[in-house]
Amino acid sequence: MLVPSDCIFCRIVARQIPSQIVLADDVLTAFRDASPQAPTHVLVVPNRHVASLHDLGDQALAGRLLLAASEVAKQEGLERAGYRVVANHGPDAGQSVGHLHLHVLGGRVMRWPPG
Ligand code: 5GP
Ligand code: ZN
């Protein structure tokens, strides 16, 4: 598979970089965050390169990603206690990887507002 070689998440999707994949299909991949901020911390990414939420513009893909986030939460047993889904866009939000990803966080109590 030809991928943007400088995009770490494209390389994870292409299985060129190892990760702990928890869910994958033809349009998305979900894998454990390398630096987890909660007992469960999974990233849900589109298989095709999309830089951020702001560049998504694809209703069907947006829906698939969101439903996958809830599916991951269910798989991880977070449905009852609760979980958080986050998409960081741009520098003020602290986006550090330029390939859209939804964070699925759970397994501990989370504060609001976020930092
Ligand atoms: P952001 O800060 O862009 O919202 O989130 C990027 C996330 O990607 C961070 O939580 C970071 O720990 C995670 N991450 C960065 N590089 C890798 C990697 O190579 N593998 C995995 N599994 N996660 C990564
Ligand atoms: Zn990418």
Ranges of beta strands (E only) in the chain are: 21-24, 28-32, 40-46, 83-86, 102-106
Asked if 103 is an active-site residue, the reply is no
Report helix, strand and coil shares of the chain as percent, to nearest 5.
25, 20, 50
pLDDT at residue 1 tops 60: no
SS3 of residue 71 by DSSP: helix
pLDDT at residue 95 tops 80: yes
pLDDT score at 115: 87
Q: Which atom of ligand 1 is nearest to the CA of 20?
A: 22
Tell me the per-residue pLDDT of 68-79, one tens digit each, with 9 for 90 and over. Answer: 999 999 999 999
Q: Which residues line ligand 1 (CB under 6 A)?
A: 8, 17, 19, 31-35, 43, 88, 94-97
Q: Which of 31, 43, 44, 101 to mutate to test the pocket of ligand 1 (most atoms within 8 A of CB)?
A: 43
pLDDT at residue 8 tops 90: yes
